Amino acid sequence: LLYRIGTERTKMNKTQFTLKDLVKHLIKYSWLTLILVIIGAGGTYIYINKVSPYPGNLYSASRNVLIKSKNNTSVQADRSLINSYIVVASDDKIISATKKQLLKDGTKISEKEIKKEVSINSIKGTLFIKISAKSPKKNVSAKLVNVYSESFAKLGPTLFSSMPKPILMSKAQNTKLATSAKSIHSIHKKGIVFGAGFGFVCGIIISLIIAIYDNYKKIGKSE
């Protein structure tokens, strides 16, 4: 009986999962944690660059456009069609005309860049839409938003015959700093730290799961 009890205690000691064993196991699989840290940090960096690809300062400018029928009784009708006017304002023909006009003025820009840099939104509760542009080049955003607005005012009614002729408000004269290089680098840094931290936690959890599984295998063999 004493021999049996001693044997059982020996088996228990062999299969017992101590803190020391846990530390050894984490060190053993530290390579896995390191790989996940690198993947987490690298993946986050790539994602942030894809979402916010501008490496430095980002300048913005905007111009308001009024779309209102001459008949005052049509205000509600015009307001209900604002989203349709915004769709018209995003048409490829307007983008193409903007590109050609900018090229004549000495500014070379692709249609893809125009689509990325220009945004069009309604001003809630009004018949105004706001055309905005962001660019890493300080002098481009104001020029882009003005030419785009003028192309829309000219071509919009030809694309949507029932749309009133847009009335352009004052030209965008100045640009403002929308995002600084410092803030973008700060976002990148925080993102990389977050990604690395997430990878580290995942590595620890996976290592623990492997440790528990290995311990159960030891218990199974000892029985």
Q: Which residue range is the domain that position 201 belongs to?
A: 13-52+182-222
How much is the mean pLDDT over the chain? 80
Residue 126, Cα to own-chain centre: how many angstroms? 29
d(CA 14, CA 190): 44
**Residue 2, domain member (yes or no):** no
Instruction: Count Cα neighbours of 47 within 13 Å in the Cβ-side half-sphere.
Output: 13
**Residue 203, domain member (yes or no):** yes
pLDDT, tens only, 129-183: 999 998 888 788 899 999 999 999 999 999 998 888 999 999 987 776 655 445 5
**Residue 147, domain member (yes or no):** yes
**What pLDDT does 148 receive?**
96
Q: CB neighbours of 122 closer than 8 A, spacing ≥ 6? A: 82, 83, 86, 128, 129, 130
* Residues forming a β-bridge with 119: 132
Quote the Cα angle for 133-101-142, to 5°: 25
- Residues 140 and 215 reside in one and the same domain: no
Decide which of 68 and 104 is more confident. 104
**Residue 149, domain member (yes or no):** yes
- Residues 174 and 203 reside in one and the same domain: no
The number of distinct structural domains making up the chain is 2
- Residues 19 and 67 reside in one and the same domain: no
- In this predicted structure, the answer to whether residue 6 has a pLDDT above a threshold of 50 is no
**Residue 90, domain member (yes or no):** yes
**Residue 6, domain member (yes or no):** no
Candidate from 7-16, 90-99, 138-147, 210-219 with smallest mean pLDDT: 7-16
**What pLDDT does 187 receive?**
63
- Residues 77 and 119 reside in one and the same domain: yes
Sign, CA dihedral 94-118-128-122, equals: positive
Q: What is the dihedral of CA 83, 89, 92, 93, to 10 degrees?
A: 130
- Residues 217 and 196 reside in one and the same domain: yes
- Residues 166 and 63 reside in one and the same domain: yes
**What pLDDT does 176 receive?**
65
- Residues 140 and 39 reside in one and the same domain: no
- Residues 120 and 190 reside in one and the same domain: no
- Residues 101 and 19 reside in one and the same domain: no
**What pLDDT does 157 receive?**
93
- In this predicted structure, the answer to whether residue 188 has a pLDDT above a threshold of 60 is yes
Mean pLDDT of 15-25: 70
- Residues 138 and 172 reside in one and the same domain: yes
**What pLDDT does 150 receive?**
95
- In this predicted structure, the answer to whether residue 66 has a pLDDT above a threshold of 80 is yes
Q: What is the CA radius of gyration of the chain?
A: 31
- In this predicted structure, the answer to whether residue 14 has a pLDDT above a threshold of 70 is no
pLDDT, tens only, 81-125: 888 999 999 999 999 999 999 999 889 999 999 998 999 999 988
- Residues 139 and 158 reside in one and the same domain: yes
User: What is the value of pTM for the model shown?
Assistant: 0.58
The amino acid at residue 172 is: A
**What pLDDT does 52 receive?**
57
- Residues 74 and 170 reside in one and the same domain: yes
**What pLDDT does 16 receive?**
58
**Residue 141, domain member (yes or no):** yes
CATH number for the domain including 153?
A: 3.30.1890
